Amino acid sequence: MSGEGHVFHPSVLREYDIRGIVGKTLGPLDAHAIGRAYGTLVQRKGGNVIALGYDGRLSSPELTEAVTEGLVSTGAHVKRVGLGPTPMLYYAIKHLGADAGIMVTGSHNPSDHNGFKMALSGGPVYGDAILAIGEIAGGGHYAAGPGKIEDFDIQDAYVERLLKDYLGPRPLKIVWDSGNGASGEILRRLTAKLPGEHILLFDEIDGRFPNHHPDPTVPENLVDLQKAVAESGADIGIGFDGDGDRIGAIDGTGRIIWGDQLLAIYAREVLATHPGETIIADVKASQILYDEIARLGGKPLMWKTGHSLIKAKMAETGSPLAGEMSGHIFFADKWYGFDDALYCGVRLASLVSLASKSLASIADELPKVFNTPETRFEVEAARKFEVIREVKARLAAVEGITVNDIDGVRVNTPDGWWLARASNTQEVLVARAESATLDGLERLKALLKEQLSLSGISPPAGF
Ligand SMILES: [Zn+2]
């Protein structure tokens, strides 16, 4: 059926999700069109049952209502699970036997942003599928029919499933920080049943994020967690992003255990029961991780950054574990292959308890390297992919240097490696460098800065 088309703000339909600034680039009319277009897309793929959830942002209820109306108008059977983290919605797709799901969430973005993450029962919705949503809406080619709405409370079922994979014999003291994000209520129910002692920070769901921003990959957002771990003498600190699909962790000494280190730690446990299998990480991850996977007898696979891309690669290779530097970690070992930071928290607590040693000692067993955090270099939108092509062309024939161009350029020299890649979500180049020695790291940073400055890009202060 055809009708009047809907045109989205050009910035809203993105590579991995739909996202905008509420009242400026995204509003209820857009949400309604997304519901109609997504309901149509799901029907074209042979499905009709769509699970729907929303995060704790102030704009989420209104957008959820509009997307619900849109979905129902296409004839979809909408199974609403209410307020919760994004992984609870992914779980709902499995638990409620839905064909697809849609989550109203702004993830870790500022409080006036919001958006939609979508999944089909077989995998993520991204790239071409998001473009298809734009096309269906643009042409007004929506399906129509009598739909229906049903409400479900799956919180206890989800918590029970999370708890099932906690095998720890030794009680731990753990501080959890959900940053006033959407995982707060689930976290309360989970920690009430999880063995050990649990201290909860900022578990009130509050879309204004009054304490700190809910993004655990930024060190300043982990300061409260570090303080609480130190004051309470806790074994571990675990933080979540705004919608609970990314994890941040600190050990009992207050050190940040980054996403790639966590993955190396999880890989031991997973490869013990999945010998020789493929473990995937993104191009930002440390060489330590790839070496550790190989040392453990697994097959390391470096892949493009982006949670949807990693999830798709995981399904393709049958990998039991994958992850990103950003803290999106995907277990298909005992779990469903989606990124669930609450589940990652349970698995971390379980393995530390089973190990009868501290997370700090486990992390210390990994080789020492010197590396930079992810660093952002500002770039004009029109130039960001071009700059990467220029760097690649300049380095192609340089002796002693190899360039991996799977996503941006990951440049290997005798000193180690550095990465520069164009972000799909921001007007920046993301860079990182890593070496076994401090001198080596300085040489890598100098080469990286030289290459970017040849393309007119200056480094941020202090890099
Ligand atoms: Zn998130």
Q: Please give the distance, rounded to the nearest whole angstrom, from the Cα atom of residue 401 to the centre of ligand 1.
A: 36
Run of H or E residues at 363: helix 359-364
Going across the sheet that includes 173-177, the strands are: 197-201, 173-177, 236-240, 247-251, 256-257
Q: Find the mean pLDDT for residues 19-37.
A: 97
Which token pair is 41?
Answer: 């897309």
According to the model, what pLDDT value does residue 319 have? Answer: 98
Run of H or E residues at 113: strand 113-120
256-296 confidence digits (pLDDT tens)? 999 999 999 999 999 999 999 999 999 999 999 999 999 99
- Contact by Cβ (8 Å): 370, 415: no
Number of helices (H), then strands (E), in the chain: 14, 22
* Catalytic, out of 60, 73, 107, 350: 107
The answer on pLDDT for 424 being more than 90 is no
323-355 confidence digits (pLDDT tens)? 999 999 999 999 999 999 999 999 999 999 999
According to the model, what pLDDT value does residue 3 have? Answer: 62
Placement of tokens 């095998």 in the chain: 167
Q: Which one-letter amino acid corresponds to residue 239?
A: G
Active site residue 353: no
426-449 confidence digits (pLDDT tens)? 889 999 999 999 999 999 999 999
Q: Please give the distance, rounded to the nearest whole angstrom, from the Cα atom of residue 390 to the centre of ligand 1.
A: 32
Rounded to an integer, what distance in angstroms lies between the CA atom of residue 128 and that of residue 23?
26
Q: Please give the distance, rounded to the nearest whole angstrom, from the Cα atom of residue 247 to the centre of ligand 1.
A: 9
- Reported confidence tier of residue 1, pLDDT bands at 50, 70, 90: very low
Q: Find the mean pLDDT for residues 305-327.
A: 94
Percent share of the chain, pLDDT over 70: 99
Q: Please give the distance, rounded to the nearest whole angstrom, from the Cα atom of residue 169 to the centre of ligand 1.
A: 31
Q: Please give the distance, rounded to the nearest whole angstrom, from the Cα atom of residue 112 to the centre of ligand 1.
A: 15
124-151 confidence digits (pLDDT tens)? 899 999 999 999 999 999 999 999 999 9
Helix pair angle (341-355, 86-95), 10° resolution: 90
The answer on pLDDT for 425 being more than 80 is no
Q: Please give the distance, rounded to the nearest whole angstrom, from the Cα atom of residue 106 to the centre of ligand 1.
A: 8
Q: Please give the distance, rounded to the nearest whole angstrom, from the Cα atom of residue 414 to the centre of ligand 1.
A: 36
Q: Please give the distance, rounded to the nearest whole angstrom, from the Cα atom of residue 116 to the centre of ligand 1.
A: 11
Q: Please give the distance, rounded to the nearest whole angstrom, from the Cα atom of residue 108 to the centre of ligand 1.
A: 5
